Amino acid sequence: MKAIDYFSIDHNSPTHTGAQDHTKYNLGFRILFFYNAHARLSQCKMTGSGAAEFATLVHHNHRGTIVGEESGGDYNGINAYDRTYLRLPNSKIGVLIAGYRSIMPWNEKQYFGRGVPVDYEVHSQIIDLLNEQDAELDFVYELIKKNK
């Protein structure tokens, strides 16, 4: 069975921008499988921006199973889009300030200040990365075998 990984980025590609890194080691977010309109998502605490918004939609509308760790992006909306760059005069530290706040049409108070929760918590270990193992993907394969 082959995973459909829409968000993989070839980091050696000349077009790689570095924005919202999604690697084969799930440092971001992946749509792993669709089966009967039921998505299986893999996310971690580095999942943010549009990926967190998509995971929120899947979770809120009960359209899939989410595996991994709670996302880093806010469940009820994100700060994104146009950014203003500001360099502080004394320290010369550069700061990017998001220009917009995207807010979901619901306000689920139990998720205020939280990321998107997972249905099954799975943590990758450093040994998994060194052995090129994907704990989330293996877990999703097992869920599919059990028809969940």
The tens place of each residue's pLDDT in the chain, 148 residues long, gives: 333 343 443 444 444 343 333 344 444 666 666 666 678 888 888 888 888 888 998 999 998 999 999 998 888 887 666 778 889 999 999 988 877 777 787 878 888 889 999 999 998 888 988 888 888 888 988 888 887 6
* Domain ranges for the chain: 29-76+102-145
pLDDT of residue 144: 81
Burial status of residue 47 (CB atoms within 10 A of its CB: 0-12, 13-18, 19 or more): buried
pLDDT of residue 69: 93
pLDDT of residue 97: 80
Question: Which fold, 29-76+102-145?
Answer: 2-enoyl-CoA Hydratase; Chain A, domain 1 (3.90.226)
Q: Are strands 64-68 and 120-121 parallel, antiparallel or unpaired?
A: parallel
Q: Which residues of 11-26 are buried (b: 16+ CB within 10 A; e: fewer)?
A: eeeeeeeeebebeebb
